[in-house]
């Protein structure tokens, strides 16, 4: 009986640690008064104490910060993996010119992730709105459940990659079933996006790294080891780094697809994918706009605040996400040479948007706002409007300056409200005249 109870407790603990959004309220602090005091690293002060006062000096500080995030937080992407940029081969495996009742042309594109014909592949699902003149901007983002989950169309290939279990028969034996078609459509309002004149590109994140603690062997990472290497070094990439790398490889492909304006690709991501999105946007200046939705710890939320998820918690529950070095900070957050406001600052002067949800306390909405606020001095140094406010706005009062922000009512999720704001933000910053917007 006692043994049974032990098993049950272990099972519940495992559930709490692995189910997305699951939280242990006994462990995490949700009291603002106990969020602690801290000093954030100043975005404009170099490690050697030199203060940056001109836009011309920013690239030096930017390189320093980027290197610190690579070294201490997300891990470096090996140069062998960067060398393949734009050189991997891809093919369009299906094309449907009248998808979604004629609204869009749909393509499924397979990209080889190494230069071996039988190596791993990544499948891109791309919709481009029909009847538009010239190349269109595209929202690019990874999905959690396979490309077939973002649409109800019966002829989109079902992902055959490893997938997290689900108790509704949509994923059986860690493989998606036909029941998973359309399971994420509420997060992917294709009609709204396409009618606004934007294309949509998506990839299953598990094509790059199966999201579990033993996923490394089946991830892209071993394919880029140095000769004789058997595991990533403590300063090398983990799952977040691999997902971010995949986003850039998708952009390499979009650059070659007629009909896509690859200089107007808006990278977006929710939650753990939102963390990878910010890291990809920080590293790859080709992304025109970067959007984080509920990205929380390791995303837009300040790590130094003791509120909701913490570094120790995230490294324990998801040991495969960050660089090994990041574990040094489990109980030493104050010695971390960066904080997440600096990640947002790396995106400057490009527009960045931080979206939060009021009930998503695990992701620390106030910490996400303060992350955005902390990036503001860099945007202003570069002559941009930045966030433009200092106090956190109330619900449903979107900010659309170069650092955009909103907090909406409700839970950890991606909703139509979020998408309306993302599209509006993109319209503003891509300077799309009203005639090019809604149809």
The verdict on 97 binding ligand GCU (CB under 6 A) reads: no
CA dihedral (401, 407, 408, 409) in degrees, to 10, reads -160
Residue closer to ligand GCU, measured from CB, 353 or 362? 362
Residue closer to ligand GCU, measured from CB, 236 or 368? 368
The verdict on 300 binding ligand GCU (CB under 6 A) reads: no
Least separation in angstroms between residue 410's CB and ligand GCU is: 15
Taking contact as CB under 6 A, which single stretch among the options 105-113, 156-164, 279-287, 309-317 is the one that binds ligand GCU?
A: 309-317
- Nearest to residue 287, comparing CAs of 279, 295, 296? 279
The verdict on 271 binding ligand GCU (CB under 6 A) reads: yes
The verdict on 268 binding ligand GCU (CB under 6 A) reads: no
The verdict on 20 binding ligand GCU (CB under 6 A) reads: yes
Q: Are 292 and 436 in contact (CB under 8 A)?
A: no
Least separation in angstroms between residue 30's CB and ligand GCU is: 14
The verdict on 21 binding ligand GCU (CB under 6 A) reads: yes
Pairing, β 171-172 against β 260-270: unpaired
Phi/psi class of residue 10: alpha, beta or left (left: φ > 0; alpha: ψ in -120 to 50)? alpha
| Half-sphere exposure of residue 108: CA atoms within 13 angstroms, side-chain side | 18
Measured between alpha carbons, how far is 411 from 398 in angstroms, rounded to an integer? 17
Query: Would residue 385 show up in a list of annotated catalytic residues for this protein?
Result: no
Least separation in angstroms between residue 362's CB and ligand GCU is: 6
Task: Find the helix or strand (DSSP H, E) in which 68 lies.
Answer: helix 58-68
The verdict on 314 binding ligand GCU (CB under 6 A) reads: yes
The verdict on 408 binding ligand GCU (CB under 6 A) reads: no
Residue closer to ligand GCU, measured from CB, 58 or 321? 321
Rule CB under 6 A: choose which of 72, 236, 309, 364 binds ligand GCU.
Answer: 309
Least separation in angstroms between residue 321's CB and ligand GCU is: 8
Measured between alpha carbons, how far is 134 from 326 in angstroms, rounded to an integer? 45
Residue closer to ligand GCU, measured from CB, 232 or 296? 296
Query: Would residue 212 show up in a list of annotated catalytic residues for this protein?
Result: no
Q: Are 297 and 173 in contact (CB under 8 A)?
A: no
Beta strands in 351-428 (DSSP E): 352-357, 403-408
For residue 303, say if its preceding peptide bond is cis, omega within 30 degrees of 0. Answer: no
How is residue 34 annotated by DSSP?
G
Residue closer to ligand GCU, measured from CB, 66 or 317? 317
Total binding residues for ligand GCU by CB under 6 A? 10
Active-site option among 159, 271, 292, 356: 271
């Amino acid at each position: 009986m006692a043994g049974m109870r032990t098993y049950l407790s272990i099972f519940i603990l495992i559930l709490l640690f692995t189910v997305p959004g699951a939280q242990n309220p006994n462990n995490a602090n949700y009291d603002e008064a106990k969020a602690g005091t801290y000093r954030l690293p100043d975005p404009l002060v170099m490690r050697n104490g030199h203060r940056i006062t001109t836009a011309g000096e920013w690239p030096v500080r930017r390189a320093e910060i980027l290197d610190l995030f690579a070294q201490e937080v997300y891990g470096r992407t090996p140069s062998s993996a960067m060398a393949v940029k734009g050189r991997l081969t891809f093919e369009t495996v299906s094309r449907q010119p009248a998808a979604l009742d004629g609204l869009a042309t749909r393509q499924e594109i397979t990209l080889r992730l190494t230069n071996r014909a039988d190596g791993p592949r990544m499948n891109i699902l791309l919709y481009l709105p029909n009847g538009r003149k010239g190349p269109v901007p595209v929202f690019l983002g990874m999905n959690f459940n396979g490309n077939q989950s973002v649409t109800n169309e019966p002829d989109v290939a079902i992902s055959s990659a490893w997938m997290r279990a689900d108790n509704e028969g949509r994923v059986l034996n860690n493989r998606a079933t036909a029941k998973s078609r359309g399971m994420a459509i509420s997060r992917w309002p294709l009609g709204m996006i396409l009618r606004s004149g934007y294309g949509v590109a998506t990839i299953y994140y598990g094509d790059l790294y199966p999201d579990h603690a033993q996923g490394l062997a089946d991830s892209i990472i071993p394919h880029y080891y140095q000769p004789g290497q058997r595991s990533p070094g403590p300063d090398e990439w983990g799952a977040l780094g691999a997902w971010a790398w995949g986003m850039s490889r998708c952009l390499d492909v979009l650059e070659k697809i007629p009909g896509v304006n690859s200089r107007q690709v808006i990278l977006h991501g929710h939650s753990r994918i939102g963390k990878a999105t910010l890291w990809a946007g920080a590293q790859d200046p080709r992304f025109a706009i970067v959007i984080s939705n509920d990205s929380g710890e390791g995303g837009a939320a300040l790590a130094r605040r003791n509120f909701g998820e913490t570094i120790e918690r995230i490294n324990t529950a998801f040991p495969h996400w960050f660089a090994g070095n990041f574990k040094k900070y489990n109980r030493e957050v104050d010695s971390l040479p960066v904080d997440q406001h600096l990640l947002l600052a790396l995106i400057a002067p490009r527009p960045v948007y931080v979206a939060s949800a009021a009930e998503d306390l695990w992701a620390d909405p106030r910490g996400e706002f303060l992350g955005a606020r902390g990036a503001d001095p860099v945007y202003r140094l570069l002559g941009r409007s930045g966030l433009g406010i200092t106090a956190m706005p109330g619900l449903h009062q979107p900010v659309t300056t170069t650092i955009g922000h909103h907090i909406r009512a409700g839970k950890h999720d991606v909703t139509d409200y979020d998408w309306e704001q993302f599209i509006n933000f993109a319209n503003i910053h891509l300077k799309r005249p009203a005639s090019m917007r809604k149809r």
